[in-house]
Amino acid sequence: MTSTPLADGGPALPALWPSDAPAAFHVLAKPSGAICNLDCTYCFFLSKELLYPGDRFRMAEDLLATYLRQLVEAHRGPEVTVAWQGGEPTLLGLPFFRRSVELTEQLLRPGQRVQYTIQTNGTLLDDEWCAFLAEHHFLVGLSVDGPRALHDAYRVDKKGRGTFDRVMEALATLQRHEVDVNILCTVHAANQDHAVEVYRFFRDDLGMRFLQFIPIVERATPDTLQVANLGWSGSRKGRPLYTNRGSLVTERSVGSLAWGRFLAEIFDEWVRHDVGEVFVQHFDAALASWLGVNPAMCIYQETCGVALALEHNGDLYSCDHFVEPEHRLGNIRDTHLVELVSSPQQVAFGLAKRDTLPAYCRSCDVRFACNGECPKNRFTTTPDGEAGLNYLCAGYKHFFHHVDEPMRLMADLLRQGREAPDVMAVLAERDAARFRGVGRNEPCPCGSGRKFKHCHADA
Ligand code: SF4
Ligand code: SF4
Tens-place pLDDT, residues 209-265: 999 999 999 999 999 999 999 998 878 777 889 999 999 999 999 999 999 999 999
Rounded CA gap, 271 and 448, in Å?
Answer: 17
Locate the DSSP E strands across 77-179. Answer: 79-84, 113-120, 139-143
Question: Does the beta carbon of 354 sit less than 6 angstroms from any atom of ligand 2?
Answer: no
Q: Please, what is the end-to-end C-alpha distance for the chain in angstroms?
A: 56
Q: How far is the CA of 355 from the centre of ligand 2 (A)?
A: 14
Rounded CA gap, 215 and 83, in Å?
Answer: 21
Provide the H-helix boundaries in 111-255.
127-135, 148-152, 164-176, 195-200, 225-229
- Residues lining ligand 1, Cβ inside 6 A: 298-299, 304, 307, 319, 321, 353, 374-376
Neighbour tally for 243: CB within 10 Å: 18
User: pLDDT by residue (tens digit) across 382-439?
Assistant: 999 999 999 999 999 999 999 999 999 999 999 999 999 999 999 999 888 888 889 9
Of 62, 284, 320, 404, which one is the catalytic site residue? Answer: 320
Rounded CA gap, 85 and 320, in Å?
Answer: 10
pLDDT band at 57 (very low <50, low <70, confident <90, very high): very high
Rounded CA gap, 411 and 290, in Å?
Answer: 6
Q: How far is the CA of 426 from the centre of ligand 1 (A)?
A: 36
Q: How far is the CA of 362 from the centre of ligand 2 (A)?
A: 8
Q: How far is the CA of 32 from the centre of ligand 1 (A)?
A: 22
Question: Does the beta carbon of 379 sit less than 6 angstroms from any atom of ligand 2?
Answer: no
User: pLDDT by residue (tens digit) across 282-332?
Assistant: 999 999 999 999 999 999 999 999 999 999 999 999 999 999 999 999 999
Q: What's the pLDDT at 1?
A: 40
Ligand nearest to the CA of 391: 2
Closest by CA position to 241, among listed 350, 156, 323: 323
Among the atoms of ligand 1, which is closest to the Cα of residue 298? 8
Percent of the chain clearing pLDDT 90 (strictly above) = 89
Among the atoms of ligand 1, which is closest to the Cα of residue 320? 4
Rounded CA gap, 22 and 131, in Å?
Answer: 34
Which of 263, 300, 378, 397 best tests ligand 2's pocket when mutated (most atoms within 8 Å of CB)?
Answer: 397
Neighbour tally for 222: CB within 10 Å: 9
Q: What's the pLDDT at 459?
A: 61
Residue 231, preceding bond cis, omega within 30 degrees? no
Neighbour tally for 305: CB within 10 Å: 23
Q: Is 320 a catalytic residue?
A: yes
